[in-house]
């Protein structure tokens, strides 16, 4: 049988393509790409001549049996998304699950990913962290998710488009309170920038100047004070002292 390779691609800077990723894309029989025109530019840059097939959120179900049949026939396939790691807020998960269920080998390559790249320079606790990705757009669902996340003591990582950034930060602040947060803008690109501050400061910044791609990271909840009060103990101690 063939192998399904999961191949990360750059999130901006083409130099972040790994040598192994180039070699893998060159040596496989087929590349399953989220957007073949987009990936073709990458292939041209690295002089890779492998054939592509489209594999995106709208044809996942019809493509999976086709790709599994090719793997069973011994063809090796590399799955790529438009940027970064496949399956991370991108197509891939269902194909990976189907390949595992069919007992076909799945090999992931390490490489570019916006969330972890942003996290290590955020200044927030790098672990534990929780990667959420894109929040639901519907206000009621968004509030439900945020309410559940608000109790977590880990750093939370979101993806968001520039158009909704200020609105989403406002929604997070409404549920989380005015916590420390970091925006990572245009990672690996010319205008890479980190904006660190309270959520209210970031909202002001975003309302004025949100352009480009963003990762939003928010500090976890402070550990809650113990529920049991130490007042009785203090009173006892005070009484002893008074007795001398």
Return residues touching ligand SAM (CB under 6 A).
11-12, 81, 83-85, 88-90, 113-115, 159-161, 184, 186-189, 213-215
Tell me whether residue 2 or residue 84 sits nearer to ligand SAM (CB atom).
84
Min dist. Cβ of residue 184 to ligand SAM (A) = 5
Q: Residues with Cβ < 8 Å from 91, sequence gap 6 or more?
A: 34, 55, 56, 57, 60, 79, 81
Tell me whether residue 81 or residue 173 sits nearer to ligand SAM (CB atom).
81
Tell me whether residue 76 or residue 87 sits nearer to ligand SAM (CB atom).
87
Min dist. Cβ of residue 128 to ligand SAM (A) = 19
Q: Whose CB is nearest to ligand SAM?
A: 84
The token duo for 67 is: 């790709």
Tell me whether residue 6 or residue 68 sits nearer to ligand SAM (CB atom).
6
Helix (H, G, I), strand (E, B) or coil at 32: strand
Min dist. Cβ of residue 101 to ligand SAM (A) = 23
Is there a contact between 187 and 16 (Cβ–Cβ < 8 Å)? Answer: no
Min dist. Cβ of residue 116 to ligand SAM (A) = 8
**Which CA distances in Å does 226 have to 150, 153, 154, 230, 233?**
18, 15, 19, 9, 14
Tell me whether residue 30 or residue 183 sits nearer to ligand SAM (CB atom).
183
User: What is the side-by-side strand order in the sheet with 52-54?
Assistant: 52-54, 30-33, 77-80, 4-6, 106-108
Helix (H, G, I), strand (E, B) or coil at 9: strand
Helix (H, G, I), strand (E, B) or coil at 112: coil
Tell me whether residue 70 or residue 184 sits nearer to ligand SAM (CB atom).
184
Q: Report how far residue 125's alpha carbon sits from residue 105's, in angstroms, rounded to the nearest whole number.
A: 35
Residues 27/33/35/40 CA torsion (nearest 10 deg): 0
Q: Residues with Cβ < 8 Å from 66, sequence gap 6 or more?
A: none
Tell me whether residue 38 or residue 143 sits nearer to ligand SAM (CB atom).
38
Is there a contact between 66 and 18 (Cβ–Cβ < 8 Å)? Answer: no
Min dist. Cβ of residue 239 to ligand SAM (A) = 59
């Amino acid at each position: 049988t063939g192998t399904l390779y999961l191949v990360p691609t750059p999130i901006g800077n083409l130099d972040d393509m790994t040598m192994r990723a180039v070699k893998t894309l060159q040596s496989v029989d087929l590349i399953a790409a989220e957007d073949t025109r987009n990936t073709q530019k990458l292939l041209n840059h690295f002089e890779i001549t492998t054939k592509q097939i489209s594999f995106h959120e709208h044809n996942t179900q019809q493509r999976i049996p086709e790709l599994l049949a090719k793997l069973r026939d011994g063809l090796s396939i590399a799955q790529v998304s438009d940027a970064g790691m496949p399956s991370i807020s991108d197509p891939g998960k269902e194909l990976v699950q189907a390949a595992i269920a069919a007992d076909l080998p799945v090999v992931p390559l390490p490489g570019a990913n916006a969330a972890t790249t942003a996290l290590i320079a955020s200044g927030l606790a790098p672990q534990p962290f929780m990667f959420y990705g894109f929040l639901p757009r519907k206000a009621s669902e968004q509030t439900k998710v945020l309410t559940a996340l608000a109790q977590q003591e880990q750093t939370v990582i979101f993806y968001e488009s520039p158009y909704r950034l200020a609105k989403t930060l406002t929604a997070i602040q409404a549920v989380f309170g005015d916590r420390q947060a970091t925006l990572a803008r245009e990672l690996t690109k010319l205008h890479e920038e980190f904006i660190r501050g309270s959520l209210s400061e970031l909202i002001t910044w975003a309302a004025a100047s949100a352009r480009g791609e963003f990762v939003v990271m928010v500090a976890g909840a402070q550990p809650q004070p113990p529920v049991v009060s130490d007042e009785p103990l203090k009173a006892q101690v005070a009484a002893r002292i008074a007795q001398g």
